[in-house]
Amino acid sequence: MNGIDLLPLAVGHMIGLGAVGSCLGVGLLAGRFVEASARQPEMMEPLQTKVFLLVGVLDGAFIIATGIGLWFATANPFRG
């Protein structure tokens, strides 16, 4: 087997591990936000904007990895 044959496996890992990491990050972030807002309700509004910003960054990293993986899968730049 050469590298071209392993490309679908690499693309699947890139998309799958990116999705798992993003889901874990968003879940941990949301859980900590709920804990923080339960302890100090007056900090809920300032923290909410930061939480949405960080969720966007986490999802953005996953979407970029998915785009690069699909680019490699359809228009393989490593093929001769």
What domains can be seen in the chain, in order of their start residue?
7-74 (1.20.20.10)
Q: Is the pLDDT of residue 80 over 90?
A: no
* Three-state DSSP class for residue 5: coil
Q: Is the pLDDT of residue 10 over 90?
A: no
Q: Find the distance separating the first CA and the last CA of the chain, reported in whole Å.
A: 16
- Give the residue numbers marked as catalytic: 59
Q: Is the pLDDT of residue 79 over 70?
A: no
How sure is the predictor about 62, in pLDDT bands with cuts at 50, 70 and 90? confident
Whole-structure pTM value: 0.76
| Residue with tokens 């690499």, as numbered in its chain | 10
Structure confidence by residue, pLDDT tens digits, 14-59: 889 989 999 999 999 999 999 999 999 999 999 999 999 999 998 8
| Residue with tokens 């899968």, as numbered in its chain | 73
